[in-house]
Amino acid sequence: MATKIVKSVFRNNLFLGNIAIITGGGTGIGKSIAKELSVLGCKVVIASRKLEILEECARVLNSELCEELVFPFSCNIRKEDEVKNLMHYTVSKFGKLDFLINNGGGQFISPFSEINTKGWNAVVDTNLNGTYYCLREAYHAWMGKNGGSIVNIVVSNFNGMPGMSHSAAARAGIINLTQTLALEWAENGIRINAIAPGCIYSESAAANYQNYPNLFKDVVNLIPLKRTGTVEEVSALVCFLLSPAASFITGDILKIDGAQSLHRHSFYEPKG
């Protein structure tokens, strides 16, 4: 029998008995969050469009954990009915929803002048509208009457994002939505914060930008700490925000970018 692997700075069973949903939960940052939450005792529903990737992620993590704590569910966050089904499945199966991590999203590199309407709408619909659907349905399904904690994953877009204007605009909307809902939902016992990662390396990120083989190497020169971040560093920050240690933190936007956003613009400017 496999041995349960614990890799976290937090105490064992910190989230024992809690239930979480992670969109974009099968790869990269989302997978790392699912791993750490489940290691800490949380039952986690991972959601994205590609069920086979989710199922493999759940199989691997549950094997390492020696128990079933990670549950795959196919959901395209751009479709309202599928988001409603995700929330209904989770609350029906587990009886509650404590945590929502909005990590689902996507974008592509392109100068603003070359982004057509279809491409623009696809990125805004996935990132901003998808987050809106998840927030709204989580509220109605459980959190509006019972409280909870939400973390929105955005990007470090604070000095502009040349080559990703569509994503920068959508994530800016999520940042303001995070602050607005912190005010509206405080009386419901809901805490909501956002995390703004800079350049975080993962195999899935490298695959997504395979047409830009020097991207991560070039971006390191813009980061004062002179390295990229890791998915584990992001998941640790998510766990902190979900934990009792952050019980008086809501409406905040936490940068995790090695001071990149203090240096110059926060991403990658494609060469003409």
Q: Is residue 7 part of a domain?
A: no
- The 8-class DSSP code of residue 22 comes to E
Residue 180's SS3 state is: helix
- The 8-class DSSP code of residue 128 comes to I
Q: Is residue 13 part of a domain?
A: no
Q: Is residue 2 part of a domain?
A: no
Instruction: Enter the pTM of the model.
Output: 0.92
Q: What distance in Å separates the CA atoms of residue 118 and residue 109, rounded to the nearest whole number? A: 14
Q: Is residue 185 part of a domain?
A: yes
Look up the domain containing 35 and give its range.
19-256
Q: Is residue 1 part of a domain?
A: no
Q: Is residue 5 part of a domain?
A: no
Q: Is residue 237 part of a domain?
A: yes
Grade residue 188 by pLDDT with cuts at 50, 70 and 90: very high
Place of tokens 């009792």: 244
Residue 74's SS3 state is: strand
Place of tokens 């998915």: 231
Q: Which residue type does 222 have?
A: L
**Domain of residue 219, CATH code:** 3.40.50.720
Q: Is residue 166 part of a domain?
A: yes
Can you point out the beta strands (E) in the chain?
19-23, 43-48, 70-74, 99-102, 148-153, 190-197, 200-201, 229-230, 253-256
Q: Which residue has the higher pLDDT, 158 or 37?
A: 37
- Number of domains observed in the structure of the chain: 1
271 closest CA partner among 224, 228, 212, 220: 212
Average pLDDT over all residues of the chain: 92
pLDDT in tens, 214-270: 777 888 888 889 999 999 999 999 999 999 999 999 999 999 999 988 876 555 555
> How far from the centroid of its chain's Cα atoms is residue 228's Cα?
18
Mean pLDDT of 117-140: 98
Q: Judge whether residue 205 has pLDDT over 80.
A: no
